[in-house]
Amino acid sequence: MRVLFTVPPLAGHVNPTAAVGAELASRGHEVAWTGPPAELARLLPPHARILPAGEHLAGGYAGLHERWRDLRGVAALRFLWQEALIPLARAMEPGVRAAASEFAPDVLVADQQTLAGPLVARGLGIPWVTSASTSAELTLPFAGFPKVGEWVSQRIGALLSEYGSDDGGWDPRFSDRLVWVFSTPELVGTGADVPPHHAYVGPAFGARPAAPDFPWRRLDPARRRVLVSLGTLNQEAGIRFYRSVLGAAEHLSEDVQLVVSAPASALGGRTPANVLVQDGVPQLELLPHLDAVVSHGGHNTVCEALAHGLPLVVAPIRDDQPIVARQVVEAGAGVRVRFGRTGPEELRDALTAVLDDPGPRRAARRIQASFAAAGGAAAAADRLEKLS
């Protein structure tokens, strides 16, 4: 089987496909990726076959991030669709079409945010499946904001009309053949109403780019250790939050050490003795040595923490992060705080709660067990093979 992955230039969306792609390759299938080549080359293993698509997005990806990083709420959501996802679909469509012609896939796997993939697959008659790297779109995210949901549907409908694909009322975010969901119902909270073609396979972990060096000897074995990470895209927006982290550290129990993944410049001057600051951390390698995680609610970091049975403090910023944070809290696996307004005392109390209260750790370990049982990359590959 020949499998073509269409992905955006975002680590959280590429990582699961890298894991599933490696699993498929180990079974003798041929795999390739299409998307912005420079960004994908940084995120995929060196041997990955990359076919270029979307390398000439107007304004560039760096400029897009500059305009996006300080937005919140509905403004961030509107920007995501109007300034990012719809233009990305237009920029990627010619390259994806060329990639499909060159690679001749038997099936196309489209990340939920790369609408060009389903557009091309439908136009060329190629079977396609959805890679849902976050479960947010599967949980009625606009139930409380129907006008926003209608606006998003209108934007998608206009894009489909633009490419002559608006027949039949189909939605490029959801394949009717197979949807990989890299989570489990124990976290998502879907109840019993799971469509049979939605495969909850849990997180899929695979090879990552070379991890940054880390001073392992500075991890204090006599202390409980907590990672603080806002992801690679949110560090500039997190300066106020980092100050609260430093303030909380000064008033935490003496047996707690914080590992903060951020540039030292974002934290200002002196840091308390129980805080270790690193510009980047080898997250997957570090997690087995931790007791809890403070996160912005990014789906990748949340699932990686829970896969190691670690409770969370979540401080969502935008996009799907409030939905993922709600899932964590409703599952009992963590505490939510306000990203923009959390003070040192509130953050200290939240950290103390997830470290001292056994409830969040029990819930995290329950989700950890569900992830292990779901099968990850192997289960995703199994479901794809059944389509052929």
Query: Using an 8 Å Cβ cutoff, are 31 and 24 in contact?
Result: yes
Residues in the chain: 388
DSSP 81: I
The string of pLDDT tens digits covering residues 58-117 is 666 566 666 666 666 777 778 888 888 999 999 999 999 999 999 999 999 999 999 999
Q: What is the predicted pLDDT for the residue at 129? A: 98
Residue 352 sits in a domain of what CATH number? 3.40.50.2000
Mean pLDDT computed over 229-258: 82
Residue finishing a domain among 155, 177, 199: 177
Q: Are residues 19 and 143 in the same domain?
A: yes
Does any domain span residue 32? yes
Does any domain span residue 259? yes
Q: Are residues 31 and 135 in the same domain?
A: yes
Q: Are residues 244 and 160 in the same domain?
A: no
Query: Using an 8 Å Cβ cutoff, are 70 and 92 in contact?
Result: no
Q: Are residues 140 and 64 in the same domain?
A: yes
Q: Are residues 304 and 165 in the same domain?
A: no
Q: Which two tokens stand for residue 231?
A: 């992801």
Q: Are residues 286 and 341 in the same domain?
A: yes
What are the two backbone dihedrals, phi and then psi, of residue 38, each rounded to the nearest 5 degrees? -65, -40
The string of pLDDT tens digits covering residues 282-322 is 999 999 999 999 999 999 999 999 999 999 999 998 888 99
Q: Which two tokens stand for residue 368?
A: 């950890």
Q: Are residues 349 and 224 in the same domain?
A: yes
Residues 6+ apart with CB under 8 A from 365: 309
> 233: pLDDT confidence band, cut at 50, 70 and 90?
low
Does any domain span residue 268? yes
- How confident is the prediction for the chain on average, in pLDDT? 89
Query: Using an 8 Å Cβ cutoff, are 130 and 110 in contact?
Result: yes
Burial-class residue 55 by CB neighbours within 10 Å (0-12, 13-18, 19+). middle
For residue 376, is pLDDT > 70? yes
Does any domain span residue 33? yes
Q: Are residues 156 and 276 in the same domain?
A: no
Burial-class residue 298 by CB neighbours within 10 Å (0-12, 13-18, 19+). buried
Q: Are residues 223 and 317 in the same domain?
A: yes
Query: Using an 8 Å Cβ cutoff, are 142 and 93 in contact?
Result: no
The letter for the amino acid at 315 is A
Does any domain span residue 188? no
Beta bridge partners of 314: 295, 336
Cα separation, 328 vs 186, in Å, equals 10
How many domains, the chain? 2
Does any domain span residue 31? yes
Q: Are residues 223 and 129 in the same domain?
A: no
The string of pLDDT tens digits covering residues 150-171 is 888 899 999 999 998 877 779 9
For residue 371, is pLDDT > 90? yes
Q: What is the predicted pLDDT for the residue at 223? A: 95
Q: Are residues 107 and 234 in the same domain?
A: no
Q: What is the predicted pLDDT for the residue at 80? A: 82
Range of the domain at 247: 216-372
* Backbone torsion region of residue 239, taken as left when φ is above 0, otherwise alpha when ψ lies between -120 and 50, otherwise beta: alpha
Does any domain span residue 43? yes
Secondary structure E strands in 18-160? 30-35, 50-52, 107-111, 128-132
* Backbone torsion region of residue 130, taken as left when φ is above 0, otherwise alpha when ψ lies between -120 and 50, otherwise beta: beta
Does any domain span residue 30? yes
For residue 280, is pLDDT > 80? yes
Beta bridge partners of 33: 5, 50
Q: Are residues 173 and 220 in the same domain?
A: no
> 191: pLDDT confidence band, cut at 50, 70 and 90?
low
For residue 234, is pLDDT > 60? no
Residues 6+ apart with CB under 8 A from 64: 57, 83, 84
